[in-house]
Amino acid sequence: FNLLFRLGKRGISSSKMPRNAKSHIAALILARGGSKGIPLKNIKMLAGVPLIGWVLRAAVDSGMFDSVWVSTDHDKIEEVAKAWGAQVHRRSPKVSRDFSSSVETIQEFLEHHKEVDIVCHFQATSPCLHPFHVKEALEKITVHGYDSVFAVVRRHQFRWKEVKKGSGEKTVPFNLEPAKRPRRQDWPGELCENGSFYFAKKEIIEKEGHLQGGKLTYYEMLPEYSVDIDVDIDWPVAEQRVLRYGYFGKDTPEVVRLMFCNISGCLTDGKIFMSVSGEAMVSVNTRDTTGLRMLQEEQVEVILLTTEKDPIDPALLQKLEDRMMCKVEKVGQEPLNDLQSIVEKKKLEWKDVAFMGFDQADVKCLNLAGLSAVPGDAPAVAKKAAKYICHCAGGSGAVRDFTEHILLQKQMAKSQREHDRIDRHNF
């Protein structure tokens, strides 16, 4: 439902870790354009970020790599990869077929990049990867002397032998004695590959033809981080998981205390309606007004923004201010110049601020704010600067989308603080 306000005639390069000069460590993500299940799945937006962006962000922010690469055969994937800090290896058609294996693709990469000594292959479909996972796993090779390491998760699932229908054959358990069926807390479970990553020295890949050879070990990840989009095909469910357990960058604020939101293009769709009697009206979605109230209930101050060129009449802005219970500020051609003084006056830093913009003029604020977003119909220049891209268009629920993202981020920060208290054996 929309509310109509009436007015009368009066009216984000990776840092390098200290390393042995003989070892070049490369992160590599394989992202073919021809996904059969979901077209261009690797760059499909997941919680406001391209799927591949979640893994690239963790890899780059880990500071463990001399180079970060995406191997692809698709122009759009190449564009997204570069925007998220990766170099691109254009794979050949020979290793871009439906039946091409990951090892073949990695071997081709090594043929073209002979400087690489250790390959850290990440799956783009595992978006809950964090930099600490990367660091701890890679140190098993660089510090503890292993040749390869892969990610696992602990599962508590009893497995049974499959039998053909009508065969009359009985099934038998693989990892269970039914007469001595253990309680979950009394059974450590089993380690299963979760597909997040596979790290290996170059000689293992070249000589043995796989990624799990030589002196081999595993790195255990907790279940909450083991999300595989190849399995979790319900995208909305996967988004909720990522919003709670995903990695949002080095400077993720735990608490947003102030939100700036553009009126035209964000809270409204930018249209001004004129009646035959000369009345001016703007349309505001009730979902968006509810979202702003949700923030205010969490002690987040909301300031609505209008520009000098905005066609909304001052009297109509006053009606919006009264109805939204939010202060309206007018900004110039460079919004940052006006908003900086507001942030300083409130004794805040930009990491404590959420900013929702729409166009090129908002780019500096979008880059600077701790959390930033644009509606789904925003221009490309604004989308590239934003940390979150809403599903909805401006005036059609985009503000509610962003407010829910802010609140979920707060919940995620709380869950991470409690992470060390999780008993993994009883998870």
Catalytic residues: 181
Nearest CA to 225 out of 27, 424, 361, 28 is that of 424
User: For residue 54, which amino acid is it?
Assistant: W
Instruction: Give the C-alpha separation, 308 to 337, whole Å.
Output: 14
Instruction: Give the C-alpha separation, 347 to 13, whole Å.
Output: 31
Nearest CA to 51 out of 95, 84, 15, 99 is that of 84
Nearest CA to 151 out of 101, 91, 98, 198 is that of 198
Query: Which contiguous run of DSSP H or E holds residue 219?
Result: strand 216-221
Tokens read off for 125: 């479909």
Instruction: Give the C-alpha separation, 83 to 78, whole Å.
Output: 9
Helix axis angle for 131-142 and 51-62, nearest 10°, is: 50
Tokens read off for 239: 């988004």
CA within 13 Å, CB half, 201? 19
- Identify whether the C-beta of residue 222 lies closer than 8 Å to the C-beta of residue 427: yes
Cβ-based neighbours of 269, under 8 Å, separated by 6 or more: 283, 393, 394, 395, 396
Task: Walk across the sheet containing 190-201 and list its strands.
Answer: 87-90, 67-72, 25-30, 118-122, 190-201, 148-155, 216-221
Interstrand relation of 371-374 and 353-356 (parallel, antiparallel or unpaired): parallel
- Identify whether the C-beta of residue 408 lies closer than 8 Å to the C-beta of residue 243: yes
Helix axis angle for 286-297 and 314-324, nearest 10°, is: 60
Q: Is the dihedral of CA 397, 403, 408, 412 positive or negative?
A: positive
